[in-house]
Chains A and B, each alone.
Chain A
């Protein structure tokens, strides 16, 4: 009975949890509800993934209104995987959040953090699961609005500016998206994604459909923070409360990329997307620019969180590079990097949060010598960093392997070298941390600090360990990504 309603519950549970937390108005109760909701969502997402693997695509009609009239939730190999990523990170971040948020947010606002966290989770899960273009917009706005609030709750006053920047950019992005969806509705008379895909053939190549493609691309790319639309991201990541940054960095951009993949390969169709407009070339150039320019920018940051944020912009370039390659290996690399980068960056930001907890700063000057006073935290950051670089035996390596293969399959040695050369830049910025933490004389703050408490370390190091685990056991990640790439390239939906 419940199993049948899982597609709705995975969104509804965190959505209902948010107002409950506001009613409770207490930090501790809020934390308990948020943790329970995210654990429940994770369990449901895993159950959905298993169901999809066993029985194929699940279609769920909200309110029993059959699609395409009603809203359809539709789970297949692609979004089941994304859903597991989002809810898993929520389930890891929620237990961590209590001490971290208690240290960074005034007591009377803490419950708001948890309420917003639940709303973001509901929004992101909704984007991943919905089969309706307008419903997707609604969830995009739910998650975005909650994100603006959460960023603004950061204790640094610059958080307000960062939130405002993201508010402007995010709103433009959402508006562009909804304009695109409007154009599609105008031409096809439907909002259901599967129905859109079926009907778009008749109007394929017409000006409004091309305009829709362009609007949706730009709108979603703003959310993805694809270079050069990444302007909002570094400050948002740096000034939001640490626990939330970890969740955001691991999930928000990834879910938007999923939405883009869905539109490109399922709705417009591969041939139309890459045939009618020079999307392949545009994504290739922007991806490479991201992989090099944003990564280089990461090298020159004086603050660990800023460095990680620019690194994220660079790593997003890896994912979009796979999209531009438009073949099985390349797309597998893209989809697997959604997961691999998600857990890697979440681990790194959680560990950065542990540094904030003890040192009240993540400026490199204050991190000097922290390898001695906080050995576990520093070692975890090194592990996560090596995964960013893509050292074999780490999650990040798997991505590089498939992207290079994808480039070779596309017949280009020049493109094959871009991910590997870009990973050297990652080595460069990761090694800045290594040299700061292990070679420099301890700063006053680092000398006085002791290791972070277990409640922060266990989730963070657990994710760092996952970076290693998924470097060795790739059957889950590559298996899911391979199936997802097959689904996307098959144009099924």
Chain B
């Protein structure tokens, strides 16, 4: 259950500049890695590469090696890879198939296309719906859900294919606080169950609670990686275009103003 990216470089088709340079990352079962960085630092590109869509679906030039449990995936077709690595995007509506009439059918769409037995399809679909907490929406029209509900639906659709790894590109960006909580709770449960999750995210507050490790991209290079607390508390984060979590900002600002850590620490716990 390990997805390994080794010395990854990637250049989009028709682009003169590499979008990723020499990126090494290992994503292990049961862990959530938060991917942060300024806009256009390579987060989305890394998601596309890790999931195999780049270059399989969008072309471009990939260097380096991607392996799952030590096996090189270079020759794997997309349909094989998608059962191991699921990818989700920011905009919920564009991830829907647009051909199904109910939430249930939408989630079942993937397993049905893999020609799984009926019972297996139903079991996986209910399982995925319940993991993200939307069993009550099963009969609803996917197009008439709120953005937050659609995002949960999109993630359920990925889960139904049973991937051991999930790659999510800003899955909560368009959600309200409640939707964000639903998604992060679902991701935490998935990680507890052994799923490996790579999640690109601007909201470091979300990652502070969810991610065990943080990787920081800057101009296509991985410039920092380590335990969540350490990286999110690193003062260089701001220079890299990333806003630290509110707790970290408050502590840093208080320290700079000469306010004792004790006073703030107590209030932070209560707040």
Co-complex (A, B): no
